[in-house]
Chains A and B, each alone.
Chain A
Amino acid sequence: MSKQQARFEPYDFNGGTCVAIAGADYCVVAADTRMSTGYNILTRDYSKINKLADKCLMASSGFQADVRALQKVLGAKHLIYQHQHNKQMSCPAMARLLSNTLYYKRFFPYYTFNVLVGFDEEGKGCVYTYDAVGSYEKVGYSAQGSGAKLIMPVLDNQLKSPSPLLLPALDAVTPLTEAEAIDVVKDVFASATERDIYTGDKLEIVIVNSDGIRREYAELRKD
């Protein structure tokens, strides 16, 4: 019989799904607002989307305490950058910073699944997708979280992003208009809500374009 040892479980899983789509001159990031633990709901009204810089947002699902800690660390590092460079961080720079910050805790990871959206140096929309320890890639669209496995195949089907194996390399940015992208997002979330117990309640959509940042909400099934 093995000895019973007192154990402290450092992680919890709060569920939720995040989706991001990049366009030629806009970005859309969306996340549901449900926060769960086990089979219970903690709240139906929790935002998973956080602004890191002027034109750079991050949506994270996973363990929300780690998400909050990660947001604070990135915020502090961004402030230091602003003091030293007299300007805000660009999205690609923030993307690398997030990766390094995550890998810094390679052996006690932030239990967070992130997508970063913003505009690259040329002003085109970009989406970066991460795993929990900082491996990241610039893509045209991504989904992370409990509903990601339900949503990603649908996005692949709809957004027809070129394969990275094709040569010459084609643009990762998808040719949807902003309104089409928002509709796709609402549809995939409605579908994911049907089958994923951790996804639902309300959908928060944040749209970034040259006019600024806009927020929309859509209802989702509450069961």
Chain B
Amino acid sequence: MFRNQYDTDVTTWSPAGRLFQVEYAMEAVKQGSAAIGLRSKTHVVLACVNKANSELSSHQKKIFKVDDHIGVAIAGLTADGRVLSRYMRTECINYSFNYESPLPVGRLVVQLADKAQVCTQRSWKRPYGVGLLVGGTDESGAHLYYNCPSGNYFEYQAFAIGSRSQAAKTYLERRFENFYELFKG
């Protein structure tokens, strides 16, 4: 395919208007073990398949508590995910320190997305190879967001990422309309 000529660095466009390095980063997410999130009016649930390198090793941690009201599940390069979780925790702590209230989830995901976008527009950086399902509650209710390596983010009622996630997505698509009223607080 032609894409091999334009995929050397992230700051090169292809003639079709695509950034291949960013798309390759999204591939890394698809190769990681699955992470799923779904939400009701008051609660968000995150779940992960924790893969172990070998029978001898421990299972990787893929769900992180970010603050009392926000958690994140990751798929892809878990090292990148760990670093981004640390960033999210610091942002929440700084916001709490300054405003004595919890950081709204929608604000956090925008900051996260902007951070990811920077890596798509610097020749000396590479995109984060991890997709994040950010779930949290704030004054406006419970929210689930998906942050991509591209710097895009979307809000979802339910979503799944990582390998074999399509099966989960199909399952959720059939049932998500019931979730809203479940787990009422």
Contacts and interface: CB of A to CB of B under 8 A. Distances in A.
Nearest to A77: B93
A87 to B, nearest CB: 13
A178 to B, nearest CB: 33
Given A80-B89, A83-B89, A72 B97 contact: yes
A73 B94 CA distance: 10
A72 B89 CA distance: 16
Contacts of B31: none
A76 B97 CA distance: 7
A152 interface: no
Interface residues of A, number: 6
A79 B93 CA distance: 8
Interface of B: 65, 86, 89-90, 93-94, 96-97
A72 B94 CA distance: 10
A73 B97 CA distance: 8
A80 B93 contact: yes
A83 B97 contact: no
Contacts of B65: 83
Nearest to A69: B97
A146 to B, nearest CB: 28
A79 B65 CA distance: 11
A76 B89 contact: no
**Which of A73, A79, A80 has the most chain B CB atoms inside 10 A of its CB?**
A79
11 contacts: A73-B97, A76-B93, A76-B94, A76-B96, A76-B97, A79-B89, A80-B89, A80-B90, A80-B93, A83-B86, A83-B89
Nearest to B92: A79
Given A73-B97, A79-B89, 12 more contacts: A72-B97, A76-B93, A76-B94, A76-B96, A76-B97, A79-B93, A80-B89, A80-B90, A80-B93, A83-B65, A83-B86, A83-B89
Nearest to A82: B65
Interface string A49-91: 0000000000000000000000011001001100100000000
Nearest to B96: A76
